[in-house]
Amino acid sequence: MTQLSAEELTLTYETNTIINGINLNIPKGKITIIIGANGCGKSTILHALGRLMKPKQGSVYLNGKNIHQYSPKEVAKQLAFLAQSPEILEDLTVEELCLYGRHPHKSLFARHSDKDKAVVEEALKATKMDLLKDRTLDALSGGQRQRAWIAMALAQETDVLLLDEPTTYLDLAHQIEVLELLRALNQKHKNTIIMVLHDLNQAASYADYLISIADGEIYQEGTPNDIFTEEMIQHVFGLNSKIIESPVNQAPICIPIGVI
Ligand SMILES: Nc1ncnc2c1ncn2[C@@H]1O[C@H](COP(=O)(O)OP(=O)(O)OP(=O)(O)O)[C@@H](O)[C@H]1O
Ligand SMILES: [Mg+2]
């Protein structure tokens, strides 16, 4: 199973240091959720983990090898990335987008195989996009489009899934549906899932492992029960809150009090 880690990772945009020498050891086969305030560098970390950004210093390792020593195609066989705001590819249908996810598994001029079609069909069903598969992306609602991109990431059939706010644009029921889908995938295939979520209670409820980011560094990491505390939320978000236990699944829940 694919192993993802980073050592002494420093990430910058020109002279602006966003992430300062962090070490990451992403637990294999688990759901890891990254939380932190707007602009703290969550998407930047995900880009580096997905080989979409070169570190200023330090390295990301995929199965023990520096991720920049793989070709993009080799990385795409092992790792799928769903961006925070995917481009709108207007003329593409949902099904074509999903077939595009099969590219890393094909040789240059190969046609789509029966396996490709079957995997795409399953991804469309799992995301409830099968009835919309012939629609073009520009003719979908924001939430439907988000589900189409999730279907594409699933069709890529990778061990590792990186998702940057996959619940954006979704109503609450669809947010929970996507999180349940990801959890079911994780339980069935033991994929390693790393995602950024803004809803703290969803993060605490769905994460096996939580990483909180503040001031360019990892503030705390561990299980939600270990690190999801009033103190962490005060430090990372500047928010006063009360933590209670969910009567449904015993996960910690944050009740906001205020920011003053
Ligand atoms: N391409 C870029 N060029 C220059 N600065 C950037 C670029 N992308 C992001 N930044 C800056 O880097 C910092 C971290 O951005 P990043 O997108 O990683 O934050 P984030 O934690 O994902 O925030 P959000 O919760 O708003 O999505 C921000 O200050 C942002 O303005
Ligand atoms: Mg972001």
Domains of the chain, earliest start first: 4-258 (3.40.50.300)
Pairing of strands 4-13, 160-164: unpaired
User: Cβ(131)–Cβ(76) under 8 Å?
Assistant: no
Q: Which sign does the torsion angle of CA 74, 77, 81, 82 carry?
A: positive
H/E segment holding residue 36: strand 31-36
Give the per-residue pLDDT at 95.
Answer: 95
Rounded Cα–Cα distance for residues 7 and 140 (Å): 40
Q: Quick one: which ligand is closest to 44's CA?
A: 1
How confident is the model over 184-206, as pLDDT tens digits? 989 988 999 999 999 999 999 99
User: Cβ(202)–Cβ(167) under 8 Å?
Assistant: yes
* pLDDT for residue 164 is more than 70: yes
Compute the average pLDDT of residues 102-130: 86
Give the per-residue pLDDT at 91.
Answer: 86
CA of 45 relative to ligand 1 center, distance in Å: 10
Compute the average pLDDT of residues 136-155: 90
CA-based radius of gyration for the chain = 19
Give the per-residue pLDDT at 108.
Answer: 64
H/E segment holding residue 47: helix 42-49
* pLDDT for residue 142 is more than 90: no
Average pLDDT, the chain: 93
Of 54-58, 100-104, 119-123, 157-161, the range with the lowest mean pLDDT is 100-104
CA of 121 relative to ligand 1 center, distance in Å: 35
- Which residues, other chains included, contact 74 with Cβ-Cβ below 8 Å and sequence gap of 6+? none
User: Cβ(152)–Cβ(101) under 8 Å?
Assistant: yes
- Which residues, other chains included, contact 57 with Cβ-Cβ below 8 Å and sequence gap of 6+? 8, 9, 10, 21
Give the per-residue pLDDT at 251.
Answer: 95
β-strand partners of 7: 59
Compute the average pLDDT of residues 256-260: 88
* pLDDT for residue 122 is more than 80: yes
Residues lining ligand 1, Cβ inside 6 A: 13, 18, 36, 38-44, 84
Which atom of ligand 1 is the closest one to the Cα of 13? 4
* pLDDT for residue 170 is more than 90: no
The closest residue, in CA terms, to atom 28 on ligand 1 is 39
| pLDDT bracket for residue 1 (50, 70, 90) | low
How confident is the model over 65-94, as pLDDT tens digits? 999 999 999 999 999 999 887 776 778 999
